[in-house]
């Protein structure tokens, strides 16, 4: 895809920074957008998702969009509404108006966060498990997935909704041993989501090939995603520090972990 220009929204964030480093190796030319300045990228577009004129210009001429921008933790409903619900709608409208063919949407495991965590011997959680958002944040990801379905059915705009687990350089908790998406696997998955044929609207979980995986990667693999990493080498250290997940601990009862009990708040 050497000639493919991709708009990366949320380029100043944690995942955006990792993808700015990793995706150019796949041949993409990245156009960057964030409401915050993007360090080391003077050409980045500084715009809020509320700015429909700026979005229209930002999406003009791109082959695809990776949509990471938004509030990534729990926040008051009005803020989630503006950034994640209206913001994602504004981006889809701009994409529709400018004829963009595909969006990769950063959904989240918190769209299904209240799903009970599988115990030993339970089947993996399928992508069509009923949505059970654990926060207003997770609810906004359910909206994004439904918006994506509408824009496919009505307008033929394709989306891969990636229910990302935890994408950080290393897993830092015992829960993350199950849900970790290594940055290198995230780049593999986004590349697969950008290049697979005929995705319509496809929902996938975004994780590495973790030994302790909780959910089913079949739909991700069907895109051509072949994860190379596994969190298990971090297990001995994390379990020694934190202990195994405890069936009596409410923080450990659901896929969403502590988002179900004491969600981390958006600091800004
Ligand atoms: P982050 O909070 O580090 O980055 C989000 C970026 O979006 C920030 O740079 C922020 O300035 C920008 N942003 C927020 N509101 C905006 C607005 N109204 N207009 C323009 N830009 C705005 O989050 P992170 O970790 O990089 O996540 C990226 C995306 O992936 C988010 O949508 C998040 O919900 C999703 N995700 C991330 C996971 C992870 O493990 N990192 C897990 C599941 C989902
Ligand atoms: C998310 O959706 C958050 O954006 C990210 O910061 C992590 O907390 C992740 O989920 C997680 O579940 O660990």
Domain contains 203: yes
CA atoms within 13 Å, Cβ hemisphere of 236: 1
Q: Which one, of 22, 69, 25, 64, lies nearest residue 44 by Cα?
A: 69
Over residues 43-51, the mean pLDDT reads 98
Q: Which domain, by its residues, includes 175?
A: 5-259
Domain count, the chain: 1
Q: Is residue 94 assigned to a domain?
A: yes
**Is the ipTM here above 0.95?**
yes
Residue 268: its pLDDT value, please?
82
Q: Which residue has the tokens 């030994």?
A: 211
What's the CATH number where 172 sits?
3.40.50.720
- 3/239: higher pLDDT: 239
**Best substitution site from 162, 165, 166 to test ligand 2's pocket, by max atoms within 8 Å of Cβ?**
166
Q: What is the pLDDT, as a whole number, of residue 120?
A: 87
Ramachandran class of 57: left when φ > 0, alpha when ψ lies in -120 to 50, beta otherwise: alpha
- Token digits for 102? 């595909």
Give residues with Cβ within 8 angstroms of 54, minimum separation 6. 45, 47, 48
> Domain for residue 224, yes or no?
yes
Residue 112 lies in a domain: yes
Token reading at 210:
């973790």
In angstroms, what is the span from residue 88 Cα to ligand 1's centroid?
12
Residue 110 lies in a domain: yes
Name the helix (H) or strand (E) containing 105.
Answer: strand 102-108
How would you label 32-49 residue by residue, b for 16+ Cβ within 10 Å and e otherwise?
Answer: bbbbeebeeeeebbebbb
**How confident is the model over 2-24, as a mean pLDDT?**
95
pLDDT one-digit tens code per residue, 20-45: 999 999 999 999 999 999 999 999 99
- φ, ψ for residue 128, nearest 5 deg: -95, 20
**Could you count the other beta carbons within 10 Å of the beta carbon of residue 85?**
18
Confirm or reject: Cβ of 159 under 6 Å from ligand 2: no
CA 71 to centroid of ligand 1, rounded, Å: 6
Question: Which residues touch 203 (CB under 8 Å, ≥6 apart)?
Answer: 107, 127, 128, 145, 160, 161, 163, 219
* Closest Cα to atom 4 of ligand 2: 72
Q: Edge-to-edge, what's the strand order for the sheet holding 102-108?
A: 45-46, 29-34, 5-9, 64-67, 102-108, 158-164, 201-206
Residue 267 lies in a domain: no
| Ligand number nearest to the C-alpha of 13 | 1
pLDDT in tens, 136-164: 999 999 999 999 999 999 999 999 999 99
**Average pLDDT for residues 204-215, to the nearest whole number?**
98
In a domain, 231, yes or no: yes
Minimum CA distance residue for ligand 2 atom 11: 166
Residue 268 lies in a domain: no
């Amino acid at each position: 895809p050497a000639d493919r220009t991709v708009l990366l929204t949320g380029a100043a964030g944690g995942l955006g920074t990792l993808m700015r480093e990793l995706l150019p190796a796949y041949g993409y030319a990245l156009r960057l957008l964030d409401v915050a300045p993007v360090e080391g990228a003077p050409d980045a577009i500084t715009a809020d998702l509320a700015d429909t004129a700026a979005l229209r210009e930002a999406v003009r001429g791109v082959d695809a969009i990776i949509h990471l921008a938004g509030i990534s933790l729990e926040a008051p409903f009005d803020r989630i509404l503006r950034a994640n619900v209206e913001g994602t709608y504004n981006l889809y409208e701009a994409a529709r108006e400018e004829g963009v063919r595909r969006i990769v949407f950063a959904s989240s495991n918190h769209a299904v966060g209240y799903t009970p965590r599988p115990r030993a011997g339970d089947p993996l959680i399928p992508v069509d498990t009923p949505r059970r958002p654990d926060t207003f944040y997770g609810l906004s990801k359910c909206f994004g997935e439904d918006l994506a379905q509408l824009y496919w059915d009505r307008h033929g705009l394709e989306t891969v909704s990636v229910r990302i687990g935890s994408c950080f350089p290393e897993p830092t908790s015992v829960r993350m041993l199950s849900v970790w998406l290594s940055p290198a696997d995230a780049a593999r998955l986004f590349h697969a989501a950008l290049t697979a044929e005929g995705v319509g609207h496809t929902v996938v979980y975004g994780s590495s090939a973790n030994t302790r995986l909780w959910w089913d990667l079949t739909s991700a693999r069907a895109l051509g995603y072949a994860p190379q990493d596994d969190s298990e080498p971090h297990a001995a250290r994390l379990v020694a520090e934190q202990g195994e997940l405890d069936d009596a601990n409410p923080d450990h009862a659901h896929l969403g972990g502590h988002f179900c009990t004491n969600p981390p708040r958006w600091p800004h």
